[in-house]
Amino acid sequence: MSARQKPSLLGLVETYFQGHLRRVRGASQHTLRAYRDGLRLYFLFLAEHTGRSIAKLTIDDVRADTVLAFLDHLESRRGNSAATRNCRLAGLRTFAAHLLRHDLAHADQYRRILSIPSKKSRSRGVTYLEPEEVQSLLAQPDRTSKRGRRDLALLLFLYNTGARISEALGVQPNDLYLQRPRQVRLRGKGNTERICPLWPETAAALQAVLREPANSGTGPIFQTLRGATLSRDAVAHLIGKYVRGAALTMPSLQRRRVTPHVLRHSCAVGLLQSGVDVTVIRDYLGHASVATTNRYITTNMEMKRKVLDAFWRRSGLQPNSKRPWRPSPKLLAFLESL
């Protein structure tokens, strides 16, 4: 294939995001941002690696060896974990698969990228808050101020529904039904929808936000004081502020990194602790597979203790006497003589 016939790298990037990810896969904004950031870092690395500007990069530069060098750069130079490295690789594989569909002349080049294995990494336990920690967090917003009422409603909403932050920030007044049965319609990944029930406290907090004089009744519920939609970074910032305040009376929150997704995890673990079946939690959280929900079962030590206690009682091995066994002095003397 001549140089003139080669597809443009920029054109393939555009069709990848606008055509494949948005229209074909229906990817969420979070996925789009993650893949965008991964490609951006890769192209910046390629520009430095080749000594050319990003504008002069071509599809010939997208090769397995440059991808491997980029992955090594992420860990050695940027200090990324193996898990982050694998996430970047997943995005590059998806991009390589798109290139393979539109540029068969370089099929071997793209297949080598698709064959790059993920790196084994230790899976970290799911981070979540216990109910008393959430209660301490909810006590922080100033309910006498507009900002505080909005923040309280947002914190309650995230914990109550287990919504992803993108789902919560997309909720509008017509998605809410604040009379009995109190509920909200959430739009999740792949344009899927689900209905989540609301606690009376959450519904009351949302009603307080909707009653604000400056609220137009249209657009997203959770807005800045100037009427713009809250950003993910703004939500992360306000949660961090309230966690620091709660840590003054709740030492377990000290040096804890609590993100909006930690509240989603906390909702899932709270449901499990309440005895809710894992398949119900899957639908409640909008998981595509119950395997995703099962992560929460393996992470809760208190649940493991209760299961073990129940197993111990069921086994019939539990002694009738409640007094702990203690060795007699004669036995200790005998053992010491051995």
Catalytic positions: 164, 189, 261, 264, 287, 296
CA Rg value for the chain = 26
Q: CA 306, 199, 245: angle at the middle one, nearest 5?
A: 75
In degrees, to the nearest 5, what angle opens at C-alpha 265 toward C-alphas 247 and 84? Answer: 95
Alpha-carbon distances of 15 from 62, 240, 294, rounded to whole Å:
16, 38, 36
Residue 184 phi, psi dihedral angles, 5° rounding? -140, 145
Residue 298's identity, in one-letter code, is: T
Q: Output the six-digit token pair for 315.
A: 């086994």
Q: How many CA atoms lie within 13 A of 106 on its CB side?
A: 25
Structure token pair of residue 284: 């409640």
Q: What is the spatial distance between Cα 303 and Cα 130, in angstroms, rounded to a whole number?
A: 12
Tokens 């992803």 found at: 164
